[in-house]
Each structure stands twice: as structure tokens, then as C-alpha cells.
Amino acid sequence: MDRDGIALAPGEASGLSQEAGSVEQLSLHCAEGSLEWLYPTGALRLRLTPRLPPTTAAVKGGSPQHVTACVKPTGTFRGAQLYLEREGVLELLLPEAPRPRARCFSWLPQEKVALFLQATPHPDISRRIAAFRYELRGDWLARPALPTASLGAEGACRPCNDTEILMAICTSDFVIRGSIRSVSNDAELQESIIGVSATRIHRQKFPLFQVGGRPGRPVGSIRTPLRCGVKPGPGTFLFTGWLHFGEAWLSCAPRYRDFQRIYEGAQRARQNPCEFPVD
């Protein structure tokens, strides 16, 4: 962090320059980044004022209905607690020494929100670092199944409707046609990991799926909250979703034959938001 309160990615602050009980005001403008607070003392108040890149709302010609932020602590997060400050009310997001799980929350553009990083008293602060990664995004129309209860189980786990599927193929970080190889569950992180064998990679912003397993067929993994109860099953699906702290997270996954029907119907009605290869 620079001293003018402009967020850098990654950013670094030090409690050695602060007085006990003081609150330093900083801002997070970047769409994603990280923050390290060395030797926490006093508190940091981090205003959330993202300069957002184009989102799904841009496809519809509007502005985001809400902004979503996610924070994920490092495995060495110590010496502080992280709170969400919304309209003057504090909500604990990360206790000291939290599990390395992401926490997400949303707010309306006109709302004033901030992150409040409060140092916890310790006789020796020399080995304590409060560090986390963050993401700030505009409206996710396709409802990514993010790893947090704060977005609501119903919203994260219900099947996508036709409009959400059509938007997902146009705007997602990845669009993969393939089948489910396996499903494993991580009870500690409350995540399910879906092993996917891809028959066609329509889009991936990063090399999430690479050749392995069966000759010439890319494989990869996609995550979803454990509460969604994903089960392995036969058939071909169209997997769409978002990159979330370097991991693929599911938004919509219709059976491919259902997607074909939806897309071809939208084409006939001239309501498809983008062109997509269907065979």
C-alpha cells in the first residue's frame, strides 16, 4: 500500500509505523490483489472502491446491480481479525488463524462498505503477519457457486435457467464440453471437486484443462460448494464458470443436449446474446 491510500497488488503495510489504537485509512481499487500487514498494531480500514472491468452487465448494456467481493486468508494469517463494515455495522469475516477458505459478500453500488482489519493484542508481534487475497467483481449474472454461505445456498445450488445459461456461455472464464470422471468431497473446506474429462474446450482464459488421462483428452477439476450435493453421472455436459483465486468454480452445467435445444430456440427467436458453435 502506498501512503496515499491507493491499493497496489500485491500490497504491503506494517504496524511498526502505527501507534497502538490508531486506525489507518487505505483504499482497494484493484479488481484483485493481495495485502500483507506485517506486525499488526492498531487497525486498518480498507475502503472498497473498485474500478471494475467489463462484466456480464456490459453485455446487457447496463451497469452492475451489485458488487461482489471475496477474501481468502493465507495459511499464515495471524495477529488480526478481519471484519466487514457495512453502514457502520461490523460483521466478522476472518477470525485469527482462520481456515484457508474464501468468504464472499455483496453490496449495492450506492452502499458504503469497507474491510476493517483489527490487530489482536499479543506480547510479541514480531512473527505475526495478517495476509489475504481479495477479488472485487461486478454483478455475476450466472450466479457462481462460490465457497461461502453468505451468498445463500439456494442461489448457489439451484439449476441455471435458460437466460443464465445463454449469458454464461458468452461471459464465463471457461466453457468446457465434457463428462464427469469423478466427484470428491473436502469436508474441511466444504467443497466438492468435480473431475472433468473435456471433449472440447470452447473457452478458457487460463490453462485450467490440460492433456492427461485418456490419450489426447484434456482433464481438469471444477469446484462447487459441498452443500450442493453434486453426484457423478453419465452423459455430456457444458461446464461454465469463473476463475476464483486460481481455481475453477462452477456456475452453470446443463446437459449438452439441453443446451443445444435452448441455444437453437434462442437463435430462432433472435435472442441469443452471442454466437456459439453448436454441432
The stretch 247-256 carries a mean pLDDT of 93
Confidence of residue 150 (pLDDT cuts 50, 70, 90): very low
Confidence of residue 149 (pLDDT cuts 50, 70, 90): very low
The stretch 166-192 carries a mean pLDDT of 92
Confidence of residue 5 (pLDDT cuts 50, 70, 90): very low
Q: Name residue, grid cell 454483478.
A: 139
The reported pLDDT for the residue numbered 10 is 47
**CB contact at 8 A, 8 and 1:** yes
Q: Please choose, from the candidates 204, 190, 198, 222, the residue with its C-alpha nearest in 3D space to the C-alpha of residue 103.
A: 190
The reported pLDDT for the residue numbered 215 is 64
CATH number for the domain running over 162-269: 2.40.50.120
Residue 209 has pLDDT above 80, yes or no: yes
pLDDT tens sequence across 82-124: 999 988 899 999 998 888 888 888 888 788 889 999 998 877 7
Domain 12-51+64-138: give its CATH superfamily: Spermadhesin, CUB domain (2.60.120.290)
* Domain boundaries defined on the chain: 12-51+64-138, 162-269
The reported pLDDT for the residue numbered 35 is 92
Identify the sign of the CA torsion 198, 200, 204, 206: positive
Q: Which percentage of the chain shows pLDDT scores above 90?
A: 40
Q: Please choose, from the candidates 166, 134, 153, 2, the residue with its C-alpha nearest in 3D space to the C-alpha of residue 68.
A: 134
Phi, then psi, of 207 in degrees rounded to 5: -75, 70
Residue 55 has pLDDT above 70, yes or no: no
The reported pLDDT for the residue numbered 194 is 96
The stretch 70-85 carries a mean pLDDT of 91
- The secondary structure of residue 142, as a DSSP letter, is T
Query: What mean pLDDT, rounded, does the chain reach?
Result: 81
**CB contact at 8 A, 207 and 200:** no
| C-alpha angle 115-23-103 in degrees, rounded to nearest 5 | 15
- The more confidently predicted of residues 189 and 42 is 42
What is the dihedral angle through the alpha carbons of 136, 137, 139, 145, rounded to the nearest 10 degrees?
-90
The reported pLDDT for the residue numbered 17 is 52
d(CA 219, CA 227): 24
Residue 42 has pLDDT above 60, yes or no: yes
